[in-house]
């Protein structure tokens, strides 16, 4: 029997506090027009002092569980993608497990920066297809605001906080059609964040212009790879759900797929780049507002530090 990973629930959470471009331009040398024209971002959400990746993950996860209408005890694997874990250990996955009271699941974190939730979907799919797990919760959750240097105008304008979740279960009908993940550590220096174990702990460091060029080329290639693997043409894709880093990068990928921007789920304008949370937040938004319909083919893709990049093609 071949099993597919079927999406049975999605969820998302954004902190209450909104930080606009105008507010940012009062503290760093920038402007709303510069940020919006170069990135497509107008505002981002900032976590409250008592919010963490696990607390936001819990809210997103509970929404996904409620949509699926399952007993949380049936979840047997929890994967959390985060670059901003509550603690070095235990994993945010374990902290989420505790919050959800899901005793029998195994839980762990993965670190693939902004590609984290695509890596999570890929791992979940392998577990389900092999019969090792039946119901898997994948969450991307980030408090990027705590690893951003708020005096560095080249990075602080880009990032935001939030969490996205998806619940998958083994099904005979088609769900995830394929996933494709890659990494290349050679690009370490273009985008990194030192940890507290390094001599000089610090904030996100990025050579944005260089990252931009590699991202556009790489995402073009991952689109080709995904379509070829499924023997599909561009016309078979109903929705593009991209990682939300920059509207110009997203537009280049949509153009490559010959999709109009109406077929792209965009959350960037009011969320900024929420790293590993962004794809699942956008997917959740498209599902909940009724744009993404059952039976449609959805291409999720992401690119991030490492570099890491990947895609998941889903028949929703
Ligand atoms: N406000 C005003 N000016 C700014 C600025 C800001 N917030 N940030 C940078 N600038 C200035 C630079 O200092 C530079 O000035 P100079 O020409 O006098 O040296 C000029 O704007 C152009 O900088 P550049 O970095 O070339 O701009 P850009 O068009 O590449 O846009 C990014 C910068 C960061 C928006 C863009 O490179 C980007 O989005 N890169 C990809 C980021 C990404 O995807 N990262 C995450 C991957 S997950």
Q: Where are the domains of the chain?
A: 4-171, 176-315
Question: pTM of the predicted model, to two decimals?
Answer: 0.97
Q: Is 51 left (phi over 0), alpha (psi -120 to 50) or beta?
A: beta
Residue 301 in this model has a pLDDT that exceeds 80: yes
Q: What is the spatial distance between Cα 188 and Cα 260, in angstroms, rounded to a whole number?
A: 33
State mean pLDDT over 232-249.
Answer: 97
Across the range 200-219, mean pLDDT stands at 93
The answer to whether the peptide bond before residue 90 is cis (omega within 30 degrees of 0) is yes
Do the Cβ atoms of 211 and 191 come closer than 8 Å? yes
What is the residue whose two structure tokens read 């929404």? 63
Instruction: Of 146, 155, 117, give the one whose Cα is nearest residue 50.
Output: 146
Calculate how far, in angstroms, residue 140's C-alpha sits from the geometric centre of ligand 1.
Answer: 26
Same fold, 4-171 and 176-315: yes
- Whole-number Å distance, alpha carbon 261 to ligand 1 midpoint, is 23
The token duo for 180 is: 């494709």
> In the annotation, is 21 catalytic?
no
273 tagged catalytic: yes
Out of 114, 144, 156, 193, pick the active-site residue.
114
Specify the ligand 1 atom closest to the Cα of 243.
48
| Architecture of the CATH domain 4-171 | 3-Layer(aba) Sandwich (3.40)
Does ligand 1 have an atom closer than 6 angstroms to the CB of 250? no
pLDDT at 182 over 80: yes
CA–centroid distance, residue 212 to ligand 1 (Å): 9
Per CATH, the homologous superfamily of domain 176-315 is Thiolase/Chalcone synthase (3.40.47.10)
Which two three-digit tokens encode residue 102? 């899901």
Q: State the distance from the centre of ligand 1 to the C-alpha of 135, rounded, in angstroms.
A: 42
Q: Which atom of ligand 1 is nearest to the CA of 113?
A: 48
- As separate numbers, helices (DSSP H) first and strands (DSSP E) second, the chain gives 9, 13
Q: What is the mean pLDDT of residues 199-215?
A: 91
Q: Determine the pLDDT at residue 251.
A: 97
Contact 208 CB / ligand 1 (< 6 Å):
yes
| pLDDT score, position 1 | 77
Tens digit of pLDDT for each residue in 36-76?
999 999 999 999 999 999 999 999 999 999 999 999 999 99
Q: Rounded to an integer, what distance in angstroms lies between the CA atom of residue 284 and that of residue 11? A: 6
Cβ(129) – ligand 1 distance below 6 Å: no
**What percent of the chain is modeled with pLDDT above 90?**
97
Residue 195's pLDDT band (cuts 50, 70, 90)? confident
Residue nearest to atom 23 of ligand 1 (CA): 209
Q: How far apart are CA 261 and CA 146, in angstroms?
A: 32
Question: Can the peptide bond before residue 307 be classed as cis, meaning omega within 30 degrees of 0?
Answer: yes
Angstrom distances, CA of residue 129 to CA of 169, 171, 172: 10, 10, 10
pLDDT digits (tens, 9 = 90+) for 97-140: 999 999 999 999 999 999 999 999 999 999 999 999 999 999 99
Q: Torsions phi, psi of 59, nearest 5?
A: -65, -45
Q: Is the pLDDT of residue 197 over 90?
A: no
Average pLDDT for residues 137-165, to the nearest whole number?
A: 97
Contacts (Cβ under 8 Å, ≥6 apart) of 246: 38, 39, 40, 158, 212, 215, 268, 273
């Amino acid at each position: 029997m071949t099993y597919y990973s079927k999406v049975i629930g999605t969820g998302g959470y954004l902190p209450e506090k909104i930080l606009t471009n105008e507010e940012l331009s009062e503290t760093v040398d920038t402007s709303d027009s510069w940020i919006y024209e170069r990135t497509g971002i107008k505002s981002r959400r900032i976590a409250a002092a008592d919010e963490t990746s696990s607390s936001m993950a819990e809210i997103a996860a509970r929404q996904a569980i409620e949509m699926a209408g399952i007993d949380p005890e049936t979840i047997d694997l929890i994967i959390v993608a985060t670059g901003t874990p509550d603690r070095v250990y235990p994993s945010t996955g374990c902290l989420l497990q505790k919050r959800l009271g899901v005793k029998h699941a195994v839980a762990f974190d993965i670190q693939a920066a902004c590609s984290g939730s695509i890596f999570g979907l890929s791992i979940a799919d392998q577990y389900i297809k092999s019969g090792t797990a039946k119901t898997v919760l994948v969450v991307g959750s980030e408090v990027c605001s705590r690893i951003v240097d708020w005096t560095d105008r080249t990075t602080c304008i880009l990032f935001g906080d939030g969490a996205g979740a998806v619940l998958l279960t083994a099904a005979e009908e088609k769900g995830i059609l394929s996933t494709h993940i890659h990494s290349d550590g050679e690009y370490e220096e273009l985008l990194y964040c030192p940890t507290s174990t390094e001599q000089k702990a610090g904030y996100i460091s990025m050579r944005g212009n260089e990252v931009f060029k590699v991202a556009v080329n790489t995402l073009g290639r991952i689109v080709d790879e995904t379509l070829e693997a499924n023997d599909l043409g561009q016309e078979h894709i109903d929705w593009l759900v991209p990682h939300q880093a920059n509207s110009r990068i997203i537009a280049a990928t949509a153009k490559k797929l010959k999709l109009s921007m109406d077929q792209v789920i965009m959350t960037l304008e009011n969320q900024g780049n929420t790293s590993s949370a962004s794809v699942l937040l956008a997917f959740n938004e498209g599902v909940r507002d009724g744009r993404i319909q059952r039976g449609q083919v959805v291409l999720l893709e992401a690119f991030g530090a490492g570099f890491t990049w990947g895609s998941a093609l889903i028949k929703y």
